Amino acid sequence: MKMPKFALNKAAVLSFFLSHGEKIIAAIIGLAACGLVWGGIGTIRDLRPSSKQEPQAIVASAAAASEHIDAVKNPPAEERASDKTLAEVVTQWREPKVVSEPPHALFSRPLFGELARRSSPDILPIEDLRAVSGAAVLAVKAPPGGRVAPQVRAPDLDDGNAPRQKPRGNRRGPGQQAQQPDQPEQPEQDQALQPDQQLGPQGKVVPYVLVTGLIPLKKQQQEYHSRFDNASFKNATIDAPNWSSYRIERAEIQPGAAEKWSPIDVKQAVIRYGAEWVGFQSEPALATITIPTTQENRDLAVSPIPFSSPMPQLADGSWGLNAMHPWFVDYLQRDAEEKKSQALADQVKAETSTNIFGAANEESVGGGIGKPGFGVPVMPVDEDSGMAPGMAGSVMLGPEYRLFRFIDLDVKPGRTYRYRVKVVCWNPNLNVPSRHLVEASLATKPILESPESKATAPVVVSDGARLLVQPVGKQVLKKIKPGMFAVQILGEKPNTGSLALRVLIMEPGGLANVDSQQKKTAELRSLGDSITTNRVLLDVRGAREDRTETRGGKATPPPEPLEMIFLRPDGIIDVVSSPDSQLDFERYRATLPTDQANAAAGDRAGQQRPGGESPF
């Protein structure tokens, strides 16, 4: 028999699969079925539950466990721990042993705080910015080659009974002495003037708006300390607030229009003030409430006026506390009271610290480096800071706030303004190496600016006229018709640069205007120079009669104060009372139209009452 021949060509392989393909597929299906059958048999053999896993066995075990729990509530005696061991375990939790700190510093902790990189401090804005308006009589310079007219100056607030000042530099003949023995010697610049020019400064009534605020010096220093105390680079000279300049803006309020802020040209203000002002008002207390000179390094090209602007000299008095922020008025009063009480305490201590021989005790003798009895002075030291009192680092101690002040004379009466201020400080990180900074860009900024302060409340510029009310005497009251009231108006006296009082007899509903044409009638309604206030008298309340006499040896009880309500042209209500008017009335009493008043009262023409008193 011959062996079959196998050929591995395409036709032979195709013929093989055509002849035996169905057999091959049936064999594969049979093998898979055998595998599934064998797996089922293995599952029946291996996963059959044991006797303990049968339901009857599980139910029996659960019943036995439940019976054991119900029958035995306490653990067996052999399994309970002894009470002594449990008490010791609980005691260490009830009375823990606290280990005290070792007396010596441990070297496992760092000796110094972790150093940090320098960051940019926040510049704080000015707080509680306020604006007040008024009209003042400024002492201004005379025009070149002009002659200053003599001024009638009213007594100062400090001395209401002071006599009227005489003009300086009276004319003298060639044989008279240059100075009177009882007069102080005049400065050289006064001696160089001509005799007709030595009549004192010229006055000018100027409306103004005074802007004051609080510079948070203490808070700003704390901000710098929080930034630089733990810095890797320190410099006491630059690590303190250093104010550079400020920018003050003004907005004129107009009905129905949005606010438009514009910066005030401080340079032009300096030129104007230098050309008009005679000098500055003396303020001894100003040095303690301003920024220290070491921390106010102003950029004169931007802010030629200090943060606390000097006030111009007045021709008829002084600014006093009216030029201060109300916060500093309270501070200066508290400081004066504390110094007074401290002086009294020191005086009592000095009186009680001497022995019977008049010598000082050992407590009052200086110690320090030397021994008691050698007179070595002791430098007082503050217990909290360890420094001399009045010093805190490189800054003098004082109030936590410092005064910001600016007087704006470029305003018009009757208009309404608001103000806001932004302060600028020198950058303490300028030119500092970048390895000490959080960002390298911090070393390139020369200045740091604060946010805008809160704008002031709208303030209306005064027209210079003030209404005063004072009760009149019984004899004068008889000459005034019922329903009519006497009002004093303080305003500018024409062509003199000073303030003077007028007298107006008016009724509710009338205008408080003094017109010279009314003086020609038989019944005088007004006395003094003409002035227009356009204020309407709305109502009057209080006693019109000045009852200062006593009856039956007993003092008359004080009457109700005289008050008047006026309506201004801008719609604002003014309440004028006699107590508020007393100071200005006494100050300008000498300016009352006494000659006309005496003539109207039936006195002889030209006769003045003592002290310049008017019948009104």
3-class secondary structure for 357-422?
CCCECHHHCCCCCCCCCCCCCCCCCCCCCCCCCCEECCEECCCCEEEEEEEECCCCCCCEEEEEEE
Q: What is the pLDDT of residue 436?
A: 87
Q: What is the pLDDT of residue 547?
A: 65
Which tens digits make up the pLDDT trace of 171-192?
Answer: 343 344 434 434 434 333 333 3
**Range of weakest confidence among 389-403, 404-418, 509-523, 538-552:** 389-403
Give the start-to-end residue ranges of the domains of the chain.
Answer: 127-145+194-344+383-460, 466-612
Cβ proximity of 434 and 549 under 8 Å = no
Question: Mean pLDDT throughout 569-588?
Answer: 82
Query: What's the chain's average pLDDT?
Result: 75
What is the rounded CA–CA span in Å between residue 468 and residue 574? 11
First to last CA, the chain: 168
Question: Mean pLDDT throughout 475-483?
Answer: 76
CA 222, distance to chain mean position in Å, is 17
CA 37, distance to chain mean position in Å, is 97
What is the share, in percent, of the chain residues with pLDDT greater than 90?
18
**Range of weakest confidence among 106-120, 382-396, 533-547:** 382-396
Cβ proximity of 564 and 467 under 8 Å = yes
User: Could you give the angle at the alpha carbon of 108 between the alpha carbons of 105 and 110, nearest 5°?
Assistant: 80
What is the rounded CA–CA span in Å between residue 567 and residue 422? 36
Which tens digits make up the pLDDT trace of 382-424?
Answer: 444 444 334 444 444 688 999 999 999 999 988 899 999 999 9
Which tens digits make up the pLDDT trace of 254-272?
Answer: 888 888 999 999 999 998 8
Name every residue whose Cβ is closer than 8 Å to that of residue 184 and which is 6 or more positions away in sequence.
Answer: none
Question: Mean pLDDT throughout 484-505?
Answer: 81
Give residue for tokens 């009534």. Answer: 205
Strand partners, 564: 540, 576
Task: Kindly list the distances between the CA atom of residue 152 and the CA atoms of 314, 588, 609, in Å, as whole numbers in the listed order.
Answer: 13, 10, 18
Q: Is the pLDDT of residue 75 over 80?
A: no
Q: What is the pLDDT of residue 451?
A: 94
Helix (H) or strand (E) holding 83: helix 83-94
Question: Mean pLDDT throughout 354-381?
Answer: 40
Question: Mean pLDDT throughout 72-82?
Answer: 62
What is the rounded CA–CA span in Å between residue 242 and residue 427? 8
Strand partners, 503: 488, 527
Q: Is the pLDDT of residue 194 over 90?
A: no
Structure-model confidence comparison of residues 393 and 492, the more confident one: 492
Q: What is the pLDDT of residue 512?
A: 82
**Range of weakest confidence among 69-78, 128-137, 146-155, 228-237:** 146-155
What is the rounded CA–CA span in Å between residue 157 and residue 318? 8
563-567 vs 573-577, strand pairing mode: antiparallel
Q: Is the dihedral of CA 198, 200, 201, 207 positive or negative?
A: negative
What is the rounded CA–CA span in Å between residue 435 and residue 115? 12
Taking phi over 0 as left and psi of -120 to 50 as alpha, with beta for the rest, 320 belongs to left
Question: Mean pLDDT throughout 576-595?
Answer: 79
Q: What is the DSSP string of 323-369?
A: GS-HHHHHHHHHHHHHHHHHHHHHHHHHHHTB-TTSPBPGGGS--TT
Structure-model confidence comparison of residues 54 and 114, the more confident one: 54
Cβ proximity of 441 and 489 under 8 Å = no
pLDDT band at 598 (very low <50, low <70, confident <90, very high): very low
What is the rounded CA–CA span in Å between residue 308 and residue 289? 9
Structure-model confidence comparison of residues 520 and 86, the more confident one: 86
Question: Mean pLDDT throughout 189-199?
Answer: 36
Task: Kindly list the distances between the CA atom of residue 72 and the CA atoms of 38, 83, 112, 540, in Å, as whole numbers in the listed order.
Answer: 52, 21, 65, 101
